[in-house]
Amino acid sequence: MQKKKAAKIIAAAAAVKQIQTPTQVNETPGQFLVGAGMFDITGEVAEIGFMGYAVPAQRGIGLLQRMRARAFIIVDPSPPNNRVVYVSMDNAMAFQMVRIEVIDRLQKLYQNLYTLKNVLLSGTHTHSTPGGTGGTVLVDITTFGFVKENWEACVAGVVGAIQRAHNNLQPGYIKINVGKLDNANINRSPASYLRDEDRSQYETNTDHEITVLRFESVDRTELGMINFFPVHGVSLNNTNMLVAGDNKGYASYLFEKYKNPDALPGTGKFVAAFGQSNEGDVSPNTAGPRCIDTGLPCDFNTSTCDGKNELCIAFGPGSTQYESTEIIGRMQFESARDLYNSAEIYLTSGVDYRHIYTDMQTQNVSSKFTTTGKNVTTCQAALGYSFAAGTTDGPGAFDFTQSTTSPNPFWRFVSAFIANPTPEQIACHEPKPILLDVGQVKPIEWVPYILPMQLYRIGNLYIISVPGEFTTMSGRRIKLTVKTALQNAGAWTNSSHIVIAGLSNSYSHYVTTYEEYQQQRYEGASTLYGPHTLAAYQQIFDQLTTALVMNKTLPDGPSPIDMRGKTFSFVLPPLWDGVPVGKDFGDIVHDVASQYRGGAVVNCTWYGGNPRHDLLTEKSYLYVDQYNASTSQWVTILTDADWETRFLWERQSFDYSLITVQWFIPKNQTVGMYRLLSLILYIFLLFLIDNRSQFYIYKTSKVKNIWKYNKNFFIKFQSFDKTFVQQKQQSLDSITIIDRFIYNNPPNTNNPICPLEKRSQGHNLLLILVLSRALNFDYRLAIRSTWGRNIYYGKLQIQTVFFVGTDDSTQYATRNEQKIFNDVVEIGIPENYPFVSHKELASLHWTRLFCPWAKYIFRADDDVLLDIFLLINYIQYYLYNNDEKYDGIYGWFRFNNTVHRNDKWAVTRQEYPFKFYPPYTFGIGYLMMNNTCLKLINAARVPDHIVQRIGDVYITGILRELANVKYYDFIGLEYSYTFLNELPCYDYFEKNLKLFICMSKLHIGIRGDPYEFYDTWDIILSRHETNYANYTNKKKI
C-alpha cells in the first residue's frame, strides 16, 4: 500500500506545472511592512457536532490535528499607511458573529488600526471542525445550537494570530508565483457546468491555477507563505469523528514542518496558509462517485443509484479517507513549495481596500450583468429541495435527489410549517422548488442577508473576498468582472493578478451561475437569493473596483444583524468525572507493549476526564517523548497536532472516561526509547496528571505483507479479494465456505472481545451478534449506549459484538473504532446485499472460534431497537434450567412462503429448486442456544454447499432444516415494523408493553436519526421503572 501511495503522490507531483507568471519583466519591488503569526483555535474535541456535513451523529470523539488561525498583515509604509489583514482559519467558514467580535477586541487593543473594512477572515472549509459558532439557525441547528466555548476559541485564536503578526511587523517584500496543479480536484456537478454558455473558453471544468505569495524581510529572512487553490475540505468524510483540518490543514502542517524543521507544530516562526478560493463545485474525491452497492457509475444528472441518493458516494485517491487527505494535502504542499522556491516576481507597491455591506435580498441588478439581458431583482433567501439531497461528497437523507425542479406534496406541506412561500417568492426563485423559505422566518435569523463585500489591492494583486462558496464558473466570471473594471479604468497591466478568497467574513451558502441554477443540483438549490445572485455580486464588485481605482469612498451600507446575545443552545455542559470503584484517575487500562517495529501503532489507555473541561489552547493533550542517552533527558518530538498521533476519548458507563493515545510509528523511525504522555483532565477540582508509558522501537525489514504487532507474536492479516471465488473455484472444490471466511482484525489475545475469565466466574453469557454496515458508526454508538451495553444481570453476562463487512472507504475508521471499543469484527466480505447471508454465517462461525462458551446467542441488525429486559426475563423464565430440552431457534416463524424468482429477493432454481421455503423466522431478531450454533456451522461444512443470499430464510430455514434444528415461536413477545407507517419506535414501545423489538426506517434505506435510539431507550427504562444503576444489579424486573 505504501508503494501505491507513493506512486499516487509522484504522479500527482508530475502534474504540477508552472504557467505564465503575472509579469515577464520584473517591475520595481514594492516595499511593505509585513508580519505573520498563528494561534490555536481548536474547540471542544468531544461530544460536540461537527460543522460541514450537517450530520448530527458526526460528533467528536477526539483529535487528529489542532486547528490554527494564520494571520498576515501588509502595511504600505507610505502615507496614508494603509494596511490590510488576511487570516486563514482551519474552520468550515468565517462567520459574521466571529468577525464582529474579533474587530471589537482588536479595537480595544489598537483603536481604529484594524476595522471591518481592512480585516479579512477566510475559512479553509474543513468539515471536521467543532461546530456551533455561526450564530444563525441553519448552521447551528445540527449541533443543537450555539457552542460558546468553540466560538470563544475561534475569536481568541484569530485575535491572538493577528497580535502575533502585528508584533512581527518588519520591512519586507512579497513575491508572487502562479502555477497549475492537475489531478487534485474534480467537478462534482458536471451536469450543471455543461449548461454554462462560456465553458468552451476554458480547458477544464475546475480551476487548476494555484497562486503563491512569498513573504520575506529585507534581509531575506523567510516569514511566511499564502496559497490560493480551490478544493473542498471533504477528503475526510462524514464518518470521521476526529477534529482535523482536512487536506488544507495537512498541507499547512507539511509546509510549516518543512520550514520549521526543529519546532513542534504551531511553535515555529514561519507561517504557511493554504487559503480557500472558488471551491463551490470542486471536490478532492478524484476517484469520482460510484454506487456503493454495485460499484457502477451514478446517474449523471441526479447522482442517484436506482433512485437512491444515499448510495452515490465519491471517493478520494487513497484507499482510506485519511490516505486521501494525505495525498490531496501533499499535492498542494509540493506544488506550493516548488512555486515558493522558484518565485522571482515581486508585487509592486501600494495597499488599498474597499468594503461595503449589502442587503442581498433587495438588489436591483442591471441588465449589463444578467445572463438574460434584463433588469432583475434578487429574492428573499430560500433553499431548494436539492439542498437536502447533499452532494456526492456527503449525501443527504430521506427521498431528496439532486436536480429536483418540481415540489413534492409531502415536503411542501412540511416546509410550510417553517414559512409558507408566497406566489411572488416561488416565481422569483423559479425553477427552484422551495423547501426552506428561510428569508421569511422571523424574528430570528436563519441565514444572513446583509453581507460584507470586500476588495483588496496589494501592489498588482487584487483579492476578491466573497462571503460564500462560488462555483468554478462563478469564480471565473467574478474575476473577469473585476478585470474588466480595471481595464476600463486603465489600471490593468500585464503584471496584474486576481485571486478569490472564499468563505470570507460571513457565510451565505453557494453562488452558481444563472445556467447552473437551472439544473438545481445541490449548489443551485443552496444559492439563497435566486437565479441572479451572481449577477448581483458582479454588479457590486464592479462598483467596488471602480471606487478603489478612482480613489472614491462608498457608503458603508446597512448594518448586519449582530447575533451576539441572541443565539439559542441546547448543548449540555460536560458531566463531572468519575472512575470505577478501586480505580483512580490516571490508572492505565491498556498499557503499551515493551517494543514495537517501525510501521506499528502504539496504543495506551487511561482513566481520565472529559476533554471539554479544558481546551488546552496552545498546548497538547498528548506528547511523544524520545530518550536522549547522551544527555539523559527526555525530548518531546510529537504532540496532538502531529498527523502521526491520535487523541481519543470514550465515555463509559455514566461518568467514566477512557483516554487513548495512539502513535502511528513511521517505518523509518529512529531506533530508541520512547514514552507517551497524556494530560489527564478531570473535574471535581481541576487536576493535571502526567501519565507516561515507555516502550522501545526496533527496525524491521521490508515486507510485502501487512503485519500487526502484539507483545508476544505477530498476526498476519489480509484483505478480502473480491474475485477470490471466481479465480480459484477449480482449486477450492474440496474447501467449504466456512474455511474461506477471513477476519481482518483477529482478536487481541491481551484484550479479547470475549474474555475467557468471565466463563470461569460462573456467568452465563448472552452474546448479542449485531450485523452492521461498516459506515453505520452512529448507530453502533447509539446501540452501545442503550440496549447493547455490556453488563451483568445476576448470573447473566450480556456481551454485544458488531460484525461489519470490508468497505475501503471506512476501513481505517472501522479499525480505529475496534481499537477504541473492542467490539467490532471486520469480515473479509464486501458490504453488498448478496453477501448478507455470508456475513450472518460468518458471525456464527466467529462465535464458535472465539467465544464458544457463550450459552445464549441473539442475532439482531443495527436498525432495530429492543427491550433487553424482556429478553432477559424470557431466558430466565423459559431457558435457564431447560437448555437441552428447548435447544433450537426462537423467533416469529413464517410458513409456506413462496420462493421469489423475479425481484430483489429472487433465488434461481439452481440455488433452491422448491416452490416454498421451509419455516423460517423474520431476520428482525432471533435467539438460539450454543449447541444450535454448532449444528448450523457443521451443516454448512459441506463441499459445494450453496449459501442463499436471503439471510433469514437461509440461516433459520434452509440451514436449520439441514442441521435438523427445532424451531419455537417466542411466547408473549411481539415485534413491529415502523417503516410501514409514520410512527417512530418509541410510540410503539410506549403503547405496547409486550413489544420486544422494533425495526426503524433505516431498514428500507431511510437513514434515520440515531437519537431515536435514546428516546426509545428512555421509554423502555421508564416502563420497567429502572435506570442504569439498577440495570446492572437488580435481580428481578
Enzyme catalytic residues: 283
Judge whether 584 and 682 are in contact, CB under 8 Å: no
Judge whether 384 and 524 are in contact, CB under 8 Å: yes
What's the CA angle centered on 96, arms 92 and 102, to 5 degrees? 100
Tracing cell 433512485 back to the chain, one arrives at 307
Quick check: helix, strand or coil at residue 680?
strand
DSSP label of 431: T
Q: How many CB atoms lie within 10 A of CB 457?
A: 22
Burial class (CB in 10 A: 0-12, 13-18, 19+), 390: buried
- Whole-number Å distance between alpha carbons of 306 and 322: 29
Q: Is 323 annotated as a binding residue?
A: no
Q: Is 125 annotated as a binding residue?
A: yes
Exposure of 248 in the CB half-sphere (CA atoms within 13 A)? 35
Distance of CA 932 to the CA centre of its chain: 42
Q: Residue 185: what are its φ and ψ, rounded to 5°?
A: -155, 160
What is the amino acid identity at position 1004?
I
- Whole-number Å distance between alpha carbons of 541 and 162: 27
Torsion angle of C-alpha atoms 664, 668, 673, 676, degrees rounded to 10:
-20
Long-range contacts: 581-588, Cβ < 8 Å, 24+? 583/607, 585/609, 585/680, 585/682, 585/687, 585/689, 586/680, 586/689, 586/691, 588/691, 588/693
C-alpha cell of residue 718:
489480509
Strands 59-63 and 46-51: antiparallel
- Whole-number Å distance between alpha carbons of 46 and 616: 13
Inter-CA distances, 596 with 606, 636, 715, 749, 822, Å:
20, 19, 13, 17, 21
Q: How many CB atoms lie within 10 A of CB 773?
A: 19
Q: Residue 229: what are its φ and ψ, rounded to 5°?
A: -155, 135
- Whole-number Å distance between alpha carbons of 638 and 370: 54
Q: Is 763 annotated as a binding residue?
A: no
DSSP label of 597: E
Annotated binding site for Zn(2+): 125, 232, 469, 510
Annotated binding site: 125, 232, 469, 510
